Amino acid sequence: MASSLVPSPSTSFFHTTKRCHKHASRKIYCSVAAPQQTQRTPSTTGSVKTAMTMTEKIMARASEKQQVRPGDNIWTNVDILMTHDVCGPGSIGIFKKEFGEDAKVWDREKVVIIPDHYIFTSDERANRNVDILRDFCNEQDIKYFYDIKDLSNFKANPDYKGVCHIALAQEGHCRPGEVLLGTDSHTCTAGAFGQFATGIGNTDAGFVLGAGKLLLKVPPTLRFVMDGEMPDYLLAKDLILQIIGEITVAGATYKSMEFVGSTVESLNMEERMTLCNMVVEAGGKNGVIPPDSVTYKYLEGKTSVPYESVYSDQQARFLSGYRFDVTKLEPLVAKPHSPDNRALARECKDVKINRVYIGSCTGGKTEDFMAAAKVFLASGGKKVKVPTFLVPATQKVWMDVYSLPVPGSGGKTCSQIFEEAGCDTPASPSCGACLGGPKDTYARMNEPQVCVSTTNRNFPGRMGHREGEIYLASPYTAAASALTGYVTDPREFLQ
């Protein structure tokens, strides 16, 4: 651990260095305390190297440099480029315009194309956009294209996956030490695998399609140390809402967020993905979690591409550090209309709600549905008081919801528990209403309503209607709220 961090006793949350200012500057500066380094003369070592953080190491390796520092602008080799139906067509357009109509992508095995945003809609342009992806993949012989043709029945499409970030993980495209870029802000989700993963726009993606590399600035790293046994009413969503509420929506702008500590180590991969997923909501460039046995176990059988994990050096410099004892935290929500508008769930118990949405890359994974089912189960057979929309992120998640037994239920599946609780039938996997979408998107908010959602953003109009009010929450909190019709702390049912 960097010497700039000093553990402190009983406070539940504090940070050791100066509070991040709301208006984050893009300038890079050193950490508060200089790291202790052994004084060695150059002649004895041949070179003097400064310790690096995990993000710096990944970027150094990807740019074939021995050493990089925060602030360096480097040409970085890309291991995987991901795009989807919303940004793919535009990226392809730029690629063709700049590299030529007959140009070939830099590596047909490193481009992963995943339709997921506007799929189950009658919107002609949306459907056309998937066709554009297909034409390109045929022309370029793209190895990984998770196509969908039959919109009336997602199961009739053997290749179709669903939400890109979850598909990337499930299909083994996320590997420690690599660089993954995607035309989506939540590409940072993949940082859970100990890789550098960040979102880019169409022009940058068009560039990568042809060149296989991109000019990137090395970010300094903020370190978040989470220790303590995770209480059984908290989920990773609560942890990241805590952090965003603390540092604000611009607190990590141009920075990397590294998550370490015994609590992080105890999280499974999907929970780690949730943590890294909302890094962008704090303005963060990327998030990283050191790979360990949990990572390797998840990766077993998913990829045959060799990978090499990297870890922050002992003496690495961090911009600042935050430490918290998770046993002191409580279930949270982010109130309208900002992900940093943090509040305790229990303090919002008078907020009447109209609907609950459980889905998206943030809160629509298998573990998220298992968590929601756990609350419904613990309620002893209560029924939801408001329409409760369930949108599994991918085909695999959908299948898990219908096949995996929920612990303590006597063999029931999530789908059975959801049905008994009166939830809507789990829908076709996609990004769904997380970002509104075409007007006929399932569960889109077309009227000004109050919604508790396991998604990632709640800016005005995010789920459709400009005056809709979205409370971001964990799957536990979302399920508890569905049962009461008000924003509800899940301890009402879990304890």
Partner 1 sequence: MAFFSSTATVPQNLTFVSSNKLSFSPSSTTSFNFVSFPSFQSKFCKTITSSPQITRAHAPPTPSTETTTASSFHGLCYVVGDNIDTDQIIPAEHLTLVPSKPDEYQKLGSFALIGLPDSYTVRFVESGETKTKYSIIIGGANFGCGSSREHAPVALGASGAAAVVAESYARIFFRNSVATGEVYPLESETRLCEECRTGDVVTVELAENRLINHTTGKEYQLKPIGDAGPVIEAGGIFAYARKTGMIPTR
Residues contributing to the site for partner 1 (CB under 8 A): 22-26, 73, 75, 86-87, 89-90, 92-94, 97-98, 100, 117-118, 123, 125-126, 129, 132, 183-185, 187, 199-204, 207, 210-211, 213, 215, 217, 249-250, 253-254, 280, 283, 285, 338, 435-439, 457, 459-462, 464, 466-467
In the complex with partner 1, which residue's Cβ is closer, 97 or 352?
97
Rounded Cα gap, residues 396 and 401, in angstroms: 9
User: Closest separation between CB of residue 167 and partner 1, Å?
Assistant: 17
In the complex with partner 1, which residue's Cβ is closer, 24 or 192?
24
Token code pair at residue 40? 């060695």
Rounded Cα gap, residues 53 and 55, in angstroms: 5
In the complex with partner 1, which residue's Cβ is closer, 320 or 458?
458
All residues at 6 or more sequence positions from 250 whose CB lies less than 8 Å from its CB, including other chains = 22, 23, 24, 282, 283
Q: Give phi and psi for 337, each to the nearest 5.
A: -120, 50
Cis peptide before 337 (omega within 30 of 0): yes
Radius of gyration of the chain (CA): 22
DSSP H helical ranges for 17-147: 42-45, 54-62, 88-99, 124-140
- Count of all residues that appear for the chain in the document: 495
User: Closest separation between CB of residue 147 and partner 1, Å?
Assistant: 18
In the complex with partner 1, which residue's Cβ is closer, 35 or 461?
461
The HSE-up count of residue 163 (CA atoms within 13 Å, CB side) is 34
User: Closest separation between CB of residue 165 and partner 1, Å?
Assistant: 12
In the complex with partner 1, which residue's Cβ is closer, 331 or 468?
468
In a 3-state reduction of DSSP, which class is residue 196? strand
User: Closest separation between CB of residue 96 and partner 1, Å?
Assistant: 8
Beta strands in 149-262 (DSSP E): 179-182, 196-199, 213-217, 221-227, 256-260
In the complex with partner 1, which residue's Cβ is closer, 223 or 285?
285
In the complex with partner 1, which residue's Cβ is closer, 85 or 492?
85
In the complex with partner 1, which residue's Cβ is closer, 438 or 485?
438
Degrees (nearest 5) of the Cα angle 63, 301, 173?
35
Rounded Cα gap, residues 286 and 284, in angstroms: 6
Rounded Cα gap, residues 287 and 193, in angstroms: 10
